[in-house]
């Protein structure tokens, strides 16, 4: 009798497992045509009802094959705005860039690095507040991905003892972004997240003041001695990139018979729908692809 009960229990357990088995979702997609004009509405008609559907249009930033990509050859770009005032105004603030600085805020470590002066690529204030620098590309400083080399940006202030006193310089805004060949923008930092460090070379009485709102080196009187001060950002990874993303169309609580979308630009797009069935004991997923030609 006990053997019979054990057999019955095992049979019931096996039946329960088979009942709870996650099935591959039943899902198909079709369109009325494979060619549309830019701006036209494309209607994707669905067959089946998977638990979840995610749509990848195939446009930049929305490619299914790049959904796990976290690095790419980018153009690292920086821009900032400045203010100068007081004393004899002259170009005594420099934009410096290094791809071999070790990140340590000491005079010895700054001097050991190779720095390139890119001041001639930026516009600096001559008295007006929030003077925009323009966008400065740092792509030439990108080293191979295997090197794991970061790029550092610094502002170098120099001034000397003179009757007019020394200038005030303020960096009002700052941003660093990576831009991929497809035009995907990956934000890296703004003023408050720049990881700034000050390094005093001369005259410790006057140094950079770092806040989340700005970088400031105040003006001084005619009696103040020669000065040199650097303020250096954290290192930026020029290969860093945000993965491509899809648009979630439905979850298990909804039913969807189709989706409409308009492509703004001509081109050939591999559209992918990622469908899944999800249960407590696992999931099954499949993709459906349609290649569309979008004409002008």
Closest to 166 measured CA to CA, from 231, 106, 224, 105: 224
**Cα 44 from Cα 31, distance rounded (Å):** 5
Under DSSP, is residue 145 helix (H, G, I), strand (E, B) or coil?
helix
**Cα 68 from Cα 123, distance rounded (Å):** 38
Instruction: Give the pLDDT mean for 92-106.
Output: 97
Q: Tens digit of pLDDT for each residue in 192-216?
A: 999 999 999 999 988 999 999 999 9
Tell me what pLDDT residue 20 has: 62
Six-digit token string for 54: 């995610």
Q: Tens digit of pLDDT for each residue in 67-96?
A: 999 999 999 999 999 999 987 788 899 999
Q: Tens digit of pLDDT for each residue in 21-55?
A: 778 889 999 999 999 999 999 999 999 999 999 99
Residue 62 half-sphere exposure toward CB, CA atoms < 13 A: 16
The answer to whether the beta carbons of residues 51 and 277 sit under 8 Å apart is yes
**Cα 245 from Cα 173, distance rounded (Å):** 29
The structure tokens 């000491």 sit at 106
Taken as a whole, the chain contains a residue count of: 296
Q: Residues with Cβ < 8 Å from 168, sequence gap 6 or more?
A: 83, 84, 85, 86, 87, 216, 217, 218, 219
Q: Would the pLDDT of 228 be above 70?
A: yes
Q: Tens digit of pLDDT for each residue in 129-160?
A: 999 999 999 999 999 999 999 999 999 999 98
The 8-class DSSP code of residue 13 comes to H
Tell me what pLDDT residue 133 has: 98
Q: Tens digit of pLDDT for each residue in 166-179?
A: 889 999 999 999 99
């Amino acid at each position: 009798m006990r053997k019979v009960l054990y057999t019955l229990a095992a049979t019931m357990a096996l039946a329960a497992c088979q009942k709870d088995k996650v099935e591959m979702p039943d899902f198909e997609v079709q369109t009325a045509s494979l060619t549309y004009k830019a701006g036209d509405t494309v209607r994707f008609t669905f067959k089946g009802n998977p638990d979840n559907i995610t749509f990848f249009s195939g446009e930049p930033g929305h490619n299914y094959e790049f959904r796990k990509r976290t690095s790419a050859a980018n153009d690292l770009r920086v821009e900032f705005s400045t203010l100068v005032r007081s004393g004899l105004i002259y170009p005594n603030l420099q934009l410096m860039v290094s791809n071999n600085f070790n990140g340590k805020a000491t005079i010895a470590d700054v001097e050991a690095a190779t720095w390139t002066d890119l001041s001639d690529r930026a516009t600096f204030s001559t008295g007006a507040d929030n003077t925009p620098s323009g966008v400065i590309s740092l792509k030439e400083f990108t080293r191979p991905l295997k090197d794991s080399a970061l790029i550092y940006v610094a502002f170098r202030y120099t001034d000397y003892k003179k009757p007019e006193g020394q200038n005030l310089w303020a960096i009002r805004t700052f941003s660093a972004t990576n831009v991929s060949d497809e035009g995907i923008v990956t934000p890296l930092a703004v003023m408050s997240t720049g990881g700034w460090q000050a390094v005093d070379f001369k005259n410790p009485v006057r140094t950079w003041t770092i806040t989340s709102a700005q970088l400031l080196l105040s003006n001084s009187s005619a009696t103040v001695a020669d000065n040199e001060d650097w303020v250096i950002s954290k290192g930026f990874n020029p290969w860093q990139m945000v993965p491509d993303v899809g648009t979630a169309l439905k979850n298990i609580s909804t039913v969807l018979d189709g989706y409409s979308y308009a492509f703004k630009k001509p081109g050939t797009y591999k559209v992918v729908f990622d469908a899944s069935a999800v249960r407590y004991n696992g999931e099954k997923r499949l993709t459906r692809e349609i290649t569309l030609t979008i004409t002008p």
